Amino acid sequence: MVPTPLVAASRQRRLVSGDRVFRVIAYGAAGLVMLIAVIFIVALVVPALPAITKFGLGFFVTRTWDPVRGEFGALTPIYGTLVTSAIALLIAFPIGLGAALFLAEDARLSLLRSPLSFLIELLAGIPSVVIGLWAFFILVPLMRDKVDPFLNHTLGFLPLFRGTPSGYGFLTAGLVLAIMVLPIMIALSRDVIRAVPRELREASLALGATNAETIWSVILPYARVGITGAILLSLGRALGETIAVTMVIGNSVQISASLFASGYTLPSVIANEFTEANGNVYLGSLFYLGVVLVLITIVVNVLARLLIWRFSGSSRAAV
């Protein structure tokens, strides 16, 4: 006896063909992502070609940025980007790590924990132009009148803190960036520290170690790789931040040892000069800067993710 098929042949065919169509659509969407990636690369690199062929790799070691003479080099904005990001991490790393330890570890003042987490999440959601506005009107005068003169007075023997403070410049931009990367730094380090196995902590405390000793000799060594990843992701954010930095760095083409001096970063050159750039070489140089910026951020981000994945094993970091 032939068993009656559960699903009629025609219906089965329809089911299969429907699946095939859906599969094609889904794969088409995936193909679209790859297409976007290709378009992105073409859209960045092709307009940069006039500058790439003209300046080549010498672009990276040229300090001049002179639209009038048509001479362009990336050294000044690269310097500005690295200095401001370095300042940002020097400030945000210790504070962020400390805050993360508190949020992940400390049982005292636990009432404060969730409002503090909420505050820091809020900070992450504030548009960068709003932070820029605040920095422009509030932070810049504060730096000019109070902080910079104080640093100049006490640490003026270092070339870093010489010169007349205008309020604009590397230090202010670095401080703004520090505020902006703090939420990432805190959230990621907190997750990494929470992932340290409880038994390790308890073993250390049971052996008579104090909280501080447990942090120093158990938690931090275990979380080192993940925290490095957090630092790199923060760096990636700092390198690419555009608007807030553009509003406070002073936007002038110079390399100066003084942190009070105004400067330029890769994104702020692009933001400032893109609409007024005339000629293939000028516009091409701005695109070339864009290519450099994108390459740097991709390298930093990929490295960061590899570290965080290595730390958290197969589970992906929620970023």
**Shorter beta-carbon distance to other proteins: residue 28 or 197:** 28
Q: Which stretch binds other proteins (CB under 8 A): 23-31, 57-65, 67-75, 218-226?
A: 23-31
Asked if residue 86 binds other proteins (CB under 8 A), the reply is no
> Taking the chain, what is the end-to-end CA distance rounded to the nearest angstrom?
59
Any contact of residue 230 with other proteins (CB under 8 A)? no
Q: Which is nearer to other proteins, 90 or 138 (CB)?
A: 138
Residues 6+ apart with CB under 8 A from 105: 193, 211, 215, 219
Q: What's the CA gap between 133 and 137, in Å, rounded?
A: 6
* Interface stretch with other proteins, choices 26-34, 58-66, 69-77, 160-168 (CB under 8 A): 26-34
Nearest Cα to Cα of residue 265 among 232, 292, 230, 295: 292
Q: Is 6 in the site for other proteins (CB under 8 A)?
A: yes
HSE-CB of 35 using CA atoms within 13 angstroms:
6
Which pair of tokens denotes residue 215? 């942090």
Residues of this chain, 257-296, that bind other proteins according to CB under 8 A: 267, 270-271, 274-275, 287, 290, 293-294
Does 94 sit near other proteins (CB under 8 A)? yes
Considering the rule CB under 8 A, would residue 220 count as an interface residue with other proteins? Answer: no
111 is a contact residue toward other proteins (CB under 8 A): no
How far is the C-alpha of 172 from the C-alpha of 131, rounded, in Å? 12
Q: Are 19 and 262 in contact (CB under 8 A)?
A: no
**CB closer to other proteins out of 263 and 290:** 290
Ranges within 179-208 binding other proteins (CB under 8 A)? 179, 182, 186, 208
The 10 Å Cβ neighbour count of residue 126 is: 13
The amino acid present at 275, given as its one-letter code, is T
Beta carbon of residue 159, minimum distance to other proteins (angstroms, whole number):
27
Q: Which is nearer to other proteins, 275 or 314 (CB)?
A: 275
Q: How far is the CB of 102 from other proteins (least distance, A)?
A: 5
Report the DSSP beta bridge partners of residue 66.
71
Segment contacting other proteins by CB under 8 A, of 69-77, 161-169, 196-204, 211-219: 211-219
> Are the C-beta atoms of residues 190 and 104 closer than 8 Å to each other?
yes
CA distances from 195 to 114, 127, 209, 306 (A): 18, 30, 20, 17
Residue choice 63, 298, 310, 315 for contact with other proteins (CB under 8 A): 298
| Binding window for other proteins (CB under 8 A); candidates: 51-59, 109-117, 161-169, 219-227 | 109-117
- Dihedral (Cα; 204, 205, 208, 211), 10-degree rounding: 100
**Interface with other proteins, residue 52, by CB under 8 A:** no
- Which residue's CB is nearer to other proteins, number 258 or number 264? 264
Q: Contact 124/180 with Cβ under 8 angstroms?
A: no
Question: Which one of residues 120, 173, 187, 292 is an interface residue with other proteins (CB under 8 A)?
Answer: 120
